[in-house]
Structure 1
């Protein structure tokens, strides 16, 4: 009798662990963007790019699929239902006419995980949503600075043999590795100190130029983990439009991430992409 009761308790406990998490499948494009298949308002089938640097959702003017059942007023649509796999999200707000990544009809942000810990599992192409924090064995941690739905982390950059602490915005919509702000680029003279592998010049209607350059950062240190020869973009020229340092999708995918429910700590460990060749912006 005891053995039967004991077995029942174990089975019940296992069931509770399974029910304490939800999984959302995704795919990764060749541009490092995460795409989820979504059914919006039970009518519109859309491919949405996950954007960690936003909370709500948006629809692109360049979408390939119809979004006729998302009703906009002043370019905003409220109270939408989004189904992704077995997961249903209600009261989703969509913005209209926002550009998104390749192969996507729009974007969806971190509202999917509101109030919960969640994992970006690049090894298994899925998000995992937790009611309680999972076993963190094998993970390092770093402070997460969350404000207005934006996630920032700090990483050490080795430039010209010197270590510089840099405050990065996590930006899964940017396909490349790192992208530096104009302020940091100018102050650190990246044009002189980084090996430059490519550049492109654009001009606006007033004839002012912006030059985008791709360089190589010798070392990027996150916690005790070191990435070598990381692609790093920066701008030079008349226009100073880049105000934030980006921790882009190509470096994000090199780790599996877990974010606590309070958004104060990010946990990470190398993923299967850790040693993959770096993505080159064209």
Structure 2
């Protein structure tokens, strides 16, 4: 779905430290996407969506604001850009061109701005926090984190039928507005088309005229560590043409927790945010 997300990280930060911590404000759209206001190369004011499933940055062909001062080469890559977010400055930022992004965004920015640092996604106060040392972990639960090619995976239990738990890994995907999206393999193996209560179905045609069918079902229970969510919307594909290779833990699920990622990217700490019990986002 998203290209070029695993290339070598080329971010470095030049910031003024206040109590060994930096704070970056963001806003959350009605589609659950995180948006940060940036100034790129001291010229282009862009709203970029935070994409936890990538490291670098990108510009969308559907952007609303001009990005005239990001110069791309023949491979649609732009090196050594500067990105300012308030008082926070990133140097040597790599941008990719023509990558789709979320609603209200001109492009994406990834986890490179937290390179080598412990960072927090604070949904209670709409801000990122970057730490030089371990922050206060009171009230948080520790989880193992799988970090692979610049992407984060977590393990969770899916209660599909009765009290039987089906374990699965999920890619943290803040660009997907919904709650859960299952891979083709998981959906087929667990027979989700019959096991879940289906609430909607849509059929699309690709450029070859092939039908792509997506369904939204309701997962009775979802367990992340000791936290349990009930009646969670879960998407999956059916039919001959399927393209989903991994399970997504989407933005609607992410916002229900505050997250602290260790600098080593092997551990994450979570606790419920103020959004934990809110109604779920309806995927169109």
- Interval containing the TM-score (normalised by the shorter chain): over 0.9
- Distance (whole Å) between structure 1 residues aligned to residue 218 and residue 143 of structure 2: 24
Counterpart in the other structure of 1:148: 149
Counterpart in the other structure of 2:171: 169
SS, match of residue 166 in structure 2: strand
Counterpart in the other structure of 2:219: 217
Q: Which runs of 5+ in 1 are unaligned?
A: 1-15
Choose the corresponding residue for 2:275, options 273, 276, 281. Answer: 273
TM-score by length of 2: 0.92
Q: Deviations over 1:62-85 (max 9, x none)?
A: 000000000000200000000001
Higher helix share: 1
TM-score by length of 1: 0.93
Shift of 1:141: 1.2
Shift of 1:207: 3.5
SS, match of residue 100 in structure 2: coil
Counterpart in the other structure of 2:91: 90
- Distance (whole Å) between structure 2 residues aligned to residue 96 and residue 210 of structure 1: 27
Shift of 1:19: 2.7
- Distance (whole Å) between structure 2 residues aligned to residue 69 and residue 231 of structure 1: 41
SS, match of residue 184 in structure 1: helix
Q: Give the RMSD, CA atoms, in angstroms.
A: 1.2
Matches within 5 A, 1:48-127: 48-73=48-73, 74-127=75-128
- Distance (whole Å) between structure 2 residues aligned to residue 280 and residue 182 of structure 1: 21
Question: 1:227–1:104: structure 2 CA closer, same or farther, 3 Å change rule?
Answer: same
Counterpart in the other structure of 1:230: 232
- Distance (whole Å) between structure 2 residues aligned to residue 240 and residue 181 of structure 1: 9
Q: Deviations over 1:139-193 (max 9, x none)?
A: 0011000011000000000011220001000000000000000010011000000
- Distance (whole Å) between structure 1 residues aligned to residue 103 and residue 65 of structure 2: 13
Given the alignment of the two structures, is residue 208 of structure 1 paired with residue 222 of structure 2, yes or no?
Answer: no
Shift of 1:17: 9.0
- Distance (whole Å) between structure 1 residues aligned to residue 206 and residue 253 of structure 2: 30
Counterpart in the other structure of 1:13: none
Question: 1:17–1:47: structure 2 CA closer, same or farther, 3 Å change rule?
Answer: closer
- Distance (whole Å) between structure 2 residues aligned to residue 206 and residue 64 of structure 1: 30
- Distance (whole Å) between structure 1 residues aligned to residue 209 and residue 112 of structure 2: 41
